[in-house]
Amino acid sequence: MTAKFQTFTSAVIPLPAENVDTDQIVPARYLKVTDKEGLREALFRDWRYGEDGGLKEPLFVMDRVAMLDRQILLVGDNFGTGSSRVHAPWALTAWGIRAILSTSFADIFRNNALKNGLLPIVVEAEKHRQLFELVATDPGARLTVDLEAQVVHLPGDEDLPFEVDPFARLMLLAGTDEMGYLIGKLPAIEAWEAKHASRVDTRVGAA
């Protein structure tokens, strides 16, 4: 269970790198942790911290003071490529990121994100370029992400509609996942089982 995904407004963190892989988002040595919250410190660890264990100079973009409370990440093409790593969306949400804008996301990452309260938003290439321009000229520009209406409101009354899998959208809005959805159907499942249990033999074929 995650929190219900509600409409929010935030300035944007620009990270123009392409093909950002999950090993960069969370290095493998942090995969044994069991507390999602602790993953905040693992996020982009080797891009943020130097050999001496301190933050790198110049600071990685997310560590700059103006960026610390921002909830929208604007990234390059094919974000989240590489290993299936649910820790990647966990670390991003632990940091406070709630939506990521890109021209494309790696499939596995996109699915992991949608199941963990993180909204990947695909924008077409020209709009993507304009967004980077917007953030370059007006670094404090604030975007409003409205999942209910499937639209990002840009400064100047411009609306950017986006597509999202309808079931994933419902799960995000409800703050649940497939398992939570199924458990919500428990009375119906139990009623069905009560009527059908006697004629379903799950051992068939096991002999």
Partner 1 sequence: MGGGTGHVFEYDGEAIRALTMEQRMTICNMSIEGGAKAGLIAPDDTTFEFVAGRAHAPKGAAWDAALESWRALPSDDGATYDKSITIDASALEPMVTYGTNPGMGIPITSLVPSPGDLADGSARRALERALEYMDLTPGQAILGQKVDVVFVGSCTNGRISDLRLAAEVLKDRAVAAGVRMMIVPGSDEVMREAEREGLHTIFRAAGAEWREAGCSMCIAMNGDQLSPGQYAISTSNRNFEGRQGKGGRTFLASPLTAAASAIRGEVTDPRTLPGIESMAAVGGR
Shortest CB 59 distance to partner 1, Å: 17
CB of 8 to partner 1, least distance (A): 27
SS3 33: coil
x-marked contacts with partner 1 along 86-125 as a string, rule CB under 8 A: ------------------xxxxx-----------------
- The conformational region for residue 65 under phi > 0 = left, psi -120 to 50 = alpha, else beta, is alpha
Listing DSSP states for 179-204 in one string gives HHHHHHTHHHHHHHHHHHGGG--TTT
Does residue 136 belong to the site contacting partner 1 (CB under 8 A)? no
Q: Does 24 bind partner 1 (CB under 8 A)?
A: yes
Q: 129 or 185: whose CB is closer to partner 1?
A: 129
How many angstroms separate the CA atoms of 71 and 93, rounded? 9
Instruction: Give whichever of 8 and 132 is closer to partner 1, judged by the CB atom.
Output: 132
- Tokens of residue 145, six digits: 């992400």
Task: In angstroms, give the least distance from the CB of 82 to partner 1.
Answer: 6
For β-strands 99-102 and 72-75, DSSP reports them as: parallel
Query: Is residue 129 near partner 1 by the rule CB under 8 A?
Result: no
Under rule CB under 8 A, residue 28 binds partner 1: yes
How many CA within 13 A on the CB side of residue 171?
A: 24
**Binding-site ranges for partner 1 (CB under 8 A):** 16-19, 21, 23-24, 27-29, 31-32, 46, 51, 76-78, 81-83, 104-108
